Structure 1
Amino acid sequence: MAHDGEDQREFPRTTQPRFADIDVSTPTTARIYDWMLHGKDNFEADRQAGRAFLEVAPQLRPIAHDNRAWLARVVTCMSTEMGIDQFLDIGSGLPTAENTHQIAQRANPDARVVYVDNDPVVLAHGRAILADNANTTVTTADILDPKAVTDSPDTRRLIDFSRPVGVLLIALTHCLKDEPDPGGLIGQVVDALPSGSYVAYSHIVSTDAEAAEQLTGTVLQATHGRWGRVRRPEEAVAYIERHGLEPVSPGFVDIRTWRTDDPDVPEEPIWEIGGLARKP
């Protein structure tokens, strides 16, 4: 939680929600995800929702851990192979082990990272964790307003949009409803990026219509309608591919197989696809 003596230049309080404003009775995807990862920054409502999700789709907990491992690989790839040294992590969720800034700054200590999430708990805990890291900050904004994300004072303070940026849209788009168009929102973010930028993207998917409908209904009920839906793989990929981005090998695939040293292809159905693409 924030303290009165924190650096006002790092986290201007006048534009951010207060911890007292947090609704602990309504689950949020950020806090449910934290619970899936065995984190501690969640409330009973989030834990109840998480348990309900696992009753419908017990594979969601392994998927959460697979997603975190993929985050580490894709940030390392952008840092070491593409030379990206500034990152905008949209829908970042709560801080946990192996955060984006830790991975990026391991490759380049001067790397800059801005975390963006619409959950005020993320802001509160991010303030405390990142208070001593001048190259990393957290801001509260929503992908539903892409301009607020890219034009946030905290974003502009650390991200130089005249140079390539690494944008993370990881496990975010399935949280969005069909209207407004998730692909259009992504496009507005892409439009703000200079040539040579990269976008890392993943989405929960299913080729089983019944399973997708069941999981979608469970999450919508638990979050009081604050979610999107599980989509077909081709739907999810279309949201990112339509913007003229150049996919990086191996393209948009099962996140468990993306640039991994593990030669064994999982036998279980694909539940999350992801990949990396470059803006030409």
Structure 2
Amino acid sequence: MAPDEHLFEPPAPVDTTRPNAARMYDYYLGGSANFEADRDAAEAGLAAMPFARDYAKANRAFLGRAVAHLVRGGIDQFLDLGSGVPTVGNVHEIARAHDPAARVAYVDHEPVAVSHARRLLADLDGVTVTQADIRDPQAVLTAPGVAELLDFDRPVAVLAVAILPFVPEQAEALSVVGAYRAACVPGSPLVVSHISALAATPEQVADAEEVMARTPTPVRWRPREEVEELFTGYELIEPGLVPAPMWRPDRLVTEQAAAPANAFAGVGTLRG
């Protein structure tokens, strides 16, 4: 059970009366950086979409596997867009288990997520937390925590895990991804997971979107072809764009078992 508000003090100013996607996601993952409005909205989300917790956990697990795979392949720089509230299995923990010198720039727009992350990571070298809107790539890329930490003359892995649904218009999403792509050199990876109806019915999708429409961050579920379009300019690595639990799993996962995650996931490498 998540704690009461007095156990987690929000930075000011934060409107704790309106639910927030990052804090709802934290609640689904069993975290503590959430408030009553977030928990109420998250429970409404579960009522509308019983798979919501499956989605959150599948995304988190995919992120871990993707980061570990990339570090083993020599990638040592990560730009984590919409990083959310820190929880077990953060990008820097996974990356540094394989390469202690790995650098990670976390970016999020949500004040609670940023404040919490800065408190937890304050003493770590090579790890930064930037408060910025990922929909403004110029602001993100020029922020000191990004520009002064990451060397964009070498490959940088751009992580966009469960964040692009919050850029509802496809043209804008493509433009946002394109701006980060343009900042990177060939060989840079793009890691994406995105909510999509695999087990969910059209009615459940509509209900889930309606719940999120009551928050400051409405979402859009995308079909597979629109998720794949986000990888324009990238070469998808095996196994391609697949249901999130089926991306290089630690054990065999069937399509039926993967469907409740309601997410596609993939990793691409920027072409030369």
TM value normalised by structure 2: 0.91
**Aligned counterpart, 1:30:** 22
Aligned-pair identity in percent equals 38
Matches within 5 A, 1:1-280: 19-81=11-73, 83-178=74-169, 181-206=172-197, 208-221=201-214, 223-224=215-216, 226-238=217-229, 240-241=230-231, 243-267=232-256, 269=259, 271-280=262-271
Q: How many residues align?
A: 258
Distance 1:180 1:237, change over 3 A: closer
Alpha-carbon distance between aligned partners in 2 of 1:170 and 1:264, rounded to the nearest angstrom: 20
Over aligned residues, Cα RMSD in angstroms? 1.5
The answer on whether the counterparts of 1:178 and 1:228 sit within 8 Å (CA) in structure 2 is: no
Quote how far apart the aligned CAs of 1:150 are: 1.1
Instruction: Structure 1 unaligned segments of length 5 or more: list them.
Output: 1-17
1:22, CA displacement in angstroms?
Answer: 1.3
8 Å CA contact retained: 1:169, 1:200 = yes
Q: What letter is aligned with 1:230?
A: W
Name the SS of the counterpart of 1:139 in structure 2. strand
For 1:185 and 1:108, how far apart are their aligned partners in 2?
Answer: 29
Q: Which residue of 2 aligns with 1:6?
A: none
Please report how far the alpha carbon of residue 261 of structure 1 lies from its aligned counterpart in structure 2 after TM superposition: 2.8
Structure 1 contact 215–230 (Cα < 8 Å) conserved: no
**Alignment check: 8 A CA contact 1:112 1:135 kept:** yes
TM-score w.r.t. length of structure 1: 0.88
* 8 A contact 1:86–1:159 mirrored in 2: yes
Q: Which amino acid aligns with 1:32?
A: M
The runs of 4+ residues in structure 1 deviating greater than 4 Å are none
Q: CA deviation at 1:80?
A: 0.2
Q: Give the C-alpha shift of residue 210 in structure 1.
A: 3.2
What runs of 5+ residues in structure 2 fail to find an aligned partner? 1-9
Distance change >3 Å, CA 139–CA 47, structure 1 → 2:
same
In the TM superposition, residue 65 of structure 1 has moved relative to its aligned partner by 1.0
The Cα shift of 1:67 comes to 1.1
Task: Give the Å deviation of 1:179.
Answer: 6.8
Q: Secondary structure at the match of 1:30?
A: helix
Q: Distance in 2 between matches of 1:95 and 1:247?
A: 28
Give 1:132 shift. 1.1
